[in-house]
Structure 1
Amino acid sequence: MVRRRTATLSLTAAALVLAAPLITSCAAEHPGSAAVVGGRAITVTELQNRVTQLRSAQAKAGQDVDLSGAKGGLSRAVLTGLLDYQVLDRAAADHHVTVTRRQTKALEALYLQRYGSAAALRAALMQIQVAPGQPTDAFARSMIQKAGVAKAIGVDPTTPQGVAALNTELGKAAQALHVDVNPRYGTWSAASGSIGNATSGWLRPATEAEQQQPAAVTG
């Protein structure tokens, strides 16, 4: 538990350091949805496909996929990550932060340099629920966005005070998107950017055991 969270925080903090220089509810009824954000449904099927892909990749890599033995699981962690991307998109738009393909590719190159190989980078990304079949540029883009929003509000996202201020700003974006999460996965908190009892907020919490059967949001 402590080891995995430390790895997650280390990777995310490192990513923000690398990204910085590149910067010049009440659930509604949506059957079959794991969550609805900004009016777009994240379907249970979409979520389960990502979870299955990630679980398989982690098992092949010998990584621990039992994220703590409590309830909620890998599904909750992956769903939180999907919500994070959309919340960051909204926050970036609110603060006129744009990300170019050139910036994204430059940050990916820095990741490769830092980790030494594509395989090592993939292993690190799997620790924060990015499966090998998913593009690394989405994560790179999110880190540039996060650094850009932090710069826009005048905080350092690598400090505790900066993290708190950035979380508050992302919470505003989440509220504006009216995020609804299927109760099966837990209760969404816009303030902390987490579902249920996950505590690491916008850093993709990975703290509980997988839920297996799909369920619809019923209100």
Structure 2
Amino acid sequence: MHRRRRTALLLTAAIAVAAPLLTACGNDAHPGAAAVVGDQRITVAQLENRVEEVREAQRTAVPDDAQYQQALARTGGLTRDTLHSMVLDRVLHRAARDAGVTVTRRDVQRMRGGLEEQAGGTKELETVWLQQYGVPPERLDANLRVQLEAQKLAETLGTDTSRPEFWQALSEASEKLDVDLNPRYGAWDVQKSSRVDTKVPWLRETTATQTRQTA
């Protein structure tokens, strides 16, 4: 169980790159897409829907306005973090597929059962995953599948998820998929299989113009 916990923490840390949301518009290579991963598009609408799922779950879990505002403050980079997670899930799935790794529904149910027992129940587990990892209840099983793919991939490679060999496999998958992010959300570092912030000229120009207008 501890090993599974470390895997979840590792993947969560990999996507928890807090950064302010940039709302300016630029010259997108793929109009309407937040990212393109292989032959799959992650549309801006899909990304916004995923973020809204988390916000709605947070609102339900934290009815007190003051506490809800605190939750919002702790997840200020949710849009970029969510996109990072959506891309990383696809990269991991490709790496797992290339290594012949599969995860069954029974695998997921077994893992969930163990985690629920550890957390003290279904509701308690859902609360933990929402608060700590930003995963709403309806996405919990999908997230556990990702954790299992990572664990099984590491085992197949004869390593663990903290070792360079594991991340090298993800890097190779990133390169094969030719991940392309909309510049407003940063860029994808193939070597690290990670979203990174980038300096966008049109954003600096827009900011400078706004500064002059308000001076």
Q: TM-score, normalised by structure 1?
A: 0.70
Provide the residue aligned with 1:209 in structure 2: none
Unaligned runs of at least 5 residues, structure 1: 1-9, 17-26, 199-219
1:149 to 148, 153, 166: 153
2:73 to 66, 69, 79: 66
Is 1:129 the equivalent of 2:144? no
Change (3 A) 1:197 1:109: same
Secondary structure of 2:82 counterpart: helix
2:86 to 82, 85, 90: 82
Deviation of 1:65 after TM superposition, in Å, equals: 2.5
**One-letter code aligned to 1:83:** V
Provide the residue aligned with 1:30 in structure 2: 30
Task: Please give the per-residue CA displacement for 1:121-159, whole angstroms capped at 9, x wherever unaligned.
Answer: 11222222212232x2211211111111111211123xx
Deviation of 1:179 after TM superposition, in Å, equals: 0.6
Provide the residue aligned with 2:113 in structure 1: 109
Is 1:13 the equivalent of 2:18? no
Give identity over the alignment, percent.
36
Q: Report if the CA contact (8 A) 1:34-1:47 is conserved.
A: yes
Provide the residue aligned with 2:209 in structure 1: none
Q: Report if the CA contact (8 A) 2:4-2:147 is conserved.
A: no
Secondary structure of 1:195 counterpart: strand
Change (3 A) 1:11 1:183: farther
**One-letter code aligned to 1:13:** R
Provide the residue aligned with 1:172 in structure 2: 172
1 CA distance for matches of 2:194 and 2:79? 13
Task: Please give the per-residue CA displacement for 1:146-197, whole angstroms capped at 9, x wherever unaligned.
Answer: 111111211123xx4x2x3312211111111111111111121122222224
Number of residue equivalences: 172
Secondary structure of 1:130 counterpart: coil
Deviation of 1:29 after TM superposition, in Å, equals: 2.5
**One-letter code aligned to 1:148:** K
Provide the residue aligned with 1:53 in structure 2: 53
Task: Please give the per-residue CA displacement for 1:73-98, whole angstroms capped at 9, x wherever unaligned.
Answer: 21111111111211111011110011
The runs of at least 4 aligned residues of structure 1 exceeding 3 Å deviation read none
Secondary structure of 2:137 counterpart: coil
Unaligned runs of at least 5 residues, structure 2: 10-26, 63-67, 199-215
Larger radius of gyration: 2
Deviation of 1:54 after TM superposition, in Å, equals: 0.5
**One-letter code aligned to 1:190:** V
Q: Report if the CA contact (8 A) 2:7-2:150 is conserved.
A: no
Secondary structure of 1:120 counterpart: helix
